[in-house]
A and B are shown apart, each in its own frame.
Chain A
């Protein structure tokens, strides 16, 4: 089976940097992706890591270490609109895609 673990809540100050960690256990692993979900909305895709290392997309970066079964999402220059839930997701065998339980990020002034 597959399981992904994330912290349930994180609070950070506007303008700061925050890191959301994700550890995974999967039977078959293709890559780790990240999604953002605002209250009442659908998840939207943020980033994907198939290989070890850092991927940068604007203020958001994502990191993967396959040897450690670990990844993180880094959000820089936090804005109030970044307050949302963030999910990591692992792609496994036979196109099965499993999500973590999500991290609720609260950005405070």
Chain B
């Protein structure tokens, strides 16, 4: 069965902290994505990666960075967390540009 696992379901961090969100997939997919989801705004693409050590900016990369050292793992990094980064973060993986499989999401609150 397809599986995308995010390291935390809920996370509370303080303003200015460095935050790591981890995502692991077991499907040998080349493509991995990080989205954030906010009410009324849908899913907005932060970063994506189509191969190990490769990364591309999505639509809202400011304040974020990513790391893909291994094919199965894609990490999202908030260099200095701010309250406007409070959101639901969703990781996904896919073989092509479609049929993305999502993790269960991490609800991050920055206080």
Contacts and interface: CB of A to CB of B under 8 A. Distances in A.
B101 A45 contact: yes
Interface residues of A, number: 27
Nearest to B38: A101
Contacts of B99: 33, 45, 48
**Quick one: which of A30, A44, A45, A50 has the most chain B CB within 10 A?**
A45
A97 B102 contact: no
A33 B42 CA distance: 15
Contacts of B104: 41-42
Q: Give the size range of B's interface with the partner.
A: 20 to 34
A35 to B, nearest CB: 8
A95 interface: yes
B59 interface: yes
A20 to B, nearest CB: 13
A96 B48 contact: yes
Contact of B97 (A8, A97, A100): A97
A30 B31 contact: no
Contacts of A91: 96-98
Interface of A: 1-2, 8, 30-31, 33, 35, 41-45, 48, 50, 87, 89, 91-92, 94-102
Interface of B: 30-31, 33, 35, 40-45, 48, 50, 56, 58-59, 90, 92, 94, 96-105
